[in-house]
């Protein structure tokens, strides 16, 4: 449809959204520093009761990449726990790697490019049926960070990125310790944090092993900077926080991550296959002396593979791992500021899934989504979270069965905040993710309340306007051949109340307030509805204004 058939969308709600993005808060505090007493038991799930559509939609906003009206009905009929079990047991969808091969991106023409990467990422996020697995993969990719643009060794960045996401997906419901082992031998991580080709110390030149991975493995992937109680609050000693490690710990640990390099067949990088094989150990480059860190030692004389596993065992045994990882998963899926009790309940499941296993991500995911704090509608200012831009786009696409007739899913790189989403999968600018889990918007009500709001780190005036303009274009015309199916909304389009009620449930989980609904209805009622074109324009306007509304953007 050409631009001149689209009615302009009133500016008031968009301006309101901009103001809200700069001032609204998205979640609750991490608590003080009192030591946790006995290990808390997981909170019981609420007593089963018939689920309202808004309750089911809110659950899917946390547990999926987006939902249709039929998906909402499925959760209502099955209940939360049964829906989760069905998703856990669903066979994985075809891998990103295989998709790239099927499209011919392993042709030598594409070796020194990223061509095809964004396509396959959006194909999975917007289309794959195993929606819980995709949501968990996205969450893990924002904790264990790799950025595709920095995977420069050996070419085939699209395949390196695809292999990385496929790895995370394969462990999405698996064990965190096993995931750490796979991550530590991943070619993508080896490139991104520069320990691929890492050499043992050279006494003649004074060169020391690269410390990047050793540092981030501790700081970002496992234990963090300060010692934690099981509920995620800091351990205090004489009123002061206690650091988890020192620079000497990093220097010692880095010795373990020497000698790892691509597993090449005869040195050949012409096919990309080496990028999905674990890195191999080059024994002559590996430091075989003892390495002491976190109060323990990887003994001398171990081969590189054994030394790596011993080091990971030492790190994984640290009491910080459960609360550190659990809290970040809660932040990615449910709320920016979970209560210490909530963190403690989920961390307790991380420590023991009920059968003695530690780090069972399937059990952790189930516990955090079924917890009473997740399932109770947050009414306090500290509750909820700002929806990250990727999830806003995927929510729209899945709600209205967006498809790509060509099968190319050419959404592209959506990183530009002025004209796109301001966020694009696996394109974080730093190892610290798009936003830090502890980010506090300066000089804000959020800061004054002692809260954090991670997603606000990529939110500013330019990003607010760019997002709304981008979504107005995508909603009304799609992107390339990725377009939505609004057939379910057309019969409602002439009735602004019925139209908004449906969109409010499916997209916003019923969280739009009466004032917001009234403002949007006034705008819609000023538009014609006497032809199919006019009805479509009302649908475009309604969707764009809902997705610009503060009540939608902050998921309670």
Does residue 408 sit in the same domain as residue 542? yes
Does residue 216 sit in the same domain as residue 311? yes
525 lies in some domain: yes
pLDDT above 70: percentage of residues in the chain: 91
Structure tokens at 238: 């004489």
222 lies in some domain: yes
Does residue 279 sit in the same domain as residue 408? no
Confidence of residue 48 (pLDDT cuts 50, 70, 90): low
C-alpha span between 31 and 342 (Å, rounded): 11
Does residue 392 sit in the same domain as residue 541? yes
Contact between residue 95 and residue 162 where contact means Cβ atoms under 8 Å apart:
yes
C-alpha span between 253 and 213 (Å, rounded): 9
Does residue 396 sit in the same domain as residue 307? no
99 lies in some domain: no
What is the pLDDT at residue 329?
98
Average pLDDT over residues 445-456: 96
Nearest Cα to Cα of residue 407 among 314, 481, 316, 357: 481
Residue 517 pLDDT greater than 80, yes or no: yes
127 lies in some domain: no
Does residue 286 sit in the same domain as residue 392? no
What is the pLDDT at residue 39?
52
322 lies in some domain: no
Confidence of residue 43 (pLDDT cuts 50, 70, 90): low
21 lies in some domain: yes
454 lies in some domain: yes
pLDDT digits (tens, 9 = 90+) for 213-269: 999 999 999 999 999 999 999 999 999 999 999 999 999 999 999 999 999 977 888
Does residue 283 sit in the same domain as residue 406? no
150 lies in some domain: no
Confidence of residue 13 (pLDDT cuts 50, 70, 90): very low
Does residue 305 sit in the same domain as residue 404? no
Does residue 539 sit in the same domain as residue 395? yes
DSSP conformation class of 234: B
C-alpha span between 279 and 198 (Å, rounded): 12
Residue 21 pLDDT greater than 60, yes or no: no
C-alpha span between 88 and 210 (Å, rounded): 39
Domain finish residue from 316, 333, 366 = 316
Does residue 312 sit in the same domain as residue 387? no
Does residue 439 sit in the same domain as residue 550? yes
Domain finish residue from 316, 331, 352 = 316
Domain finish residue from 289, 316, 343 = 316
Per the structure, the complete domain to which residue 247 belongs is given by: 212-316
Contact between residue 441 and residue 453 where contact means Cβ atoms under 8 Å apart:
yes
pLDDT digits (tens, 9 = 90+) for 153-192: 889 999 999 999 999 999 999 999 999 999 999 999 999 9
Overall domain count for the chain: 2
Does residue 443 sit in the same domain as residue 541? yes
């Amino acid at each position: 449809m050409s631009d001149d058939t689209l009615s302009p969308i009133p500016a008031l709600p968009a301006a309101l959204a901009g103001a809200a993005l700069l001032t609204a808060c998205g979640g609750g505090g991490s608590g003080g520093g009192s030591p946790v007493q006995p290990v808390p038991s997981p909170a019981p799930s609420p007593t089963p009761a018939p689920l309202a559509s808004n309750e089911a939609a809110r659950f899917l906003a946390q547990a999926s990449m987006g939902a249709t009206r039929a998906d909402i009905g499925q959760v209502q009929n099955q209940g939360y726990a049964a829906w989760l079990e069905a998703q856990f047991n669903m066979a994985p969808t075809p891998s990103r790697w295989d998709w790239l091969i099927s499209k011919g991106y392993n042709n030598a023409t594409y070796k020194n490019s990223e061509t095809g990467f964004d396509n396959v990422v959006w194909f999975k996020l917007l289309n794959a049926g195993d929606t819980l697995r995709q949501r968990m993969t996205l969450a893990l990719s924002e904790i264990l960070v790799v950025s595709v643009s920095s995977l420069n060794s050996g070419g085939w960045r699209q395949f390196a990125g695809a292999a990385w996401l496929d790895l995370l997906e394969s462990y999405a419901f698996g064990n965190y310790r096993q995931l750490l082992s796979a991550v530590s031998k991943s070619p993508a991580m080896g490139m991104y944090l520069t320990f691929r080709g890492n050499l043992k110390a050279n006494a003649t030149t004074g060169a020391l092993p690269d410390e990047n991975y050793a540092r981030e493995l501790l700081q970002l992937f496992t234990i963090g900077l300060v010692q934690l109680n099981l509920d995620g609050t800091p351990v205090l000693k004489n009123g002061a926080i206690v650091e988890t490690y020192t620079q000497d710990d990093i220097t010692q640990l880095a010795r373990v991550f020497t000698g790892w390099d691509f597993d090449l067949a005869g040195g050949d990088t012409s096919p990309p296959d080496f990028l999905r094989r674990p890195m191999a150990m080059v024994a002559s480059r590996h430091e075989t002396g003892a390495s002491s860190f976190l109060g323990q030692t990887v003994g001398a004389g171990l081969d590189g593979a054994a030394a790596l596993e011993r080091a990971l065992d030492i790190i994984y045994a640290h009491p910080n791992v459960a609360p550190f990882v659990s809290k970040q998963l809660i932040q990615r899926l449910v709320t920016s500021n979970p209560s210490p009790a909530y963190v403690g309940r989920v961390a307790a499941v991380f420590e023991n899934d009920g059968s003695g296993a530690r780090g069972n991500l399937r059990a952790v995911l189930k516990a955090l989504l079924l917890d009473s704090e997740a399932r109770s509608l947050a009414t306090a200012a500290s509750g909820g979270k700002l929806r990250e831009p990727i999830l806003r786009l995927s929510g729209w696409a899945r709600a209205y069965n967006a498809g790509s007739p060509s099968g190319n899913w050419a959404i592209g790189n959506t990183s530009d905040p002025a004209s796109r989403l301001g966020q694009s999968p696996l394109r974080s600018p730093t190892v610290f993710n798009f936003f830090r889990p502890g980010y506090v918007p300066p000089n804000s009500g959020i800061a004054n309340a002692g809260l954090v709001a991670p997603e606000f780190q990529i939110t500013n005036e330019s990003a607010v306007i760019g997002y709304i303009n981008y979504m107005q274009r995508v909603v009304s015309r799609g992107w390339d051949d990725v377009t939505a199916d609004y057939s379910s909304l057309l019969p409602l389009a002439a009735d602004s109340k019925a139209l908004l009620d449906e969109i409010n449930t499916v997209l916003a989980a019923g969280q739009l307030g009466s004032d917001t609904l009234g403002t949007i209805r006034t705008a819609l009622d000023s538009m014609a509805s006497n032809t199919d074109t006019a009805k479509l324009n009302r649908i475009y306007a309604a969707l764009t204004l809902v997705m610009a509304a503060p009540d939608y953007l902050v998921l309670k």
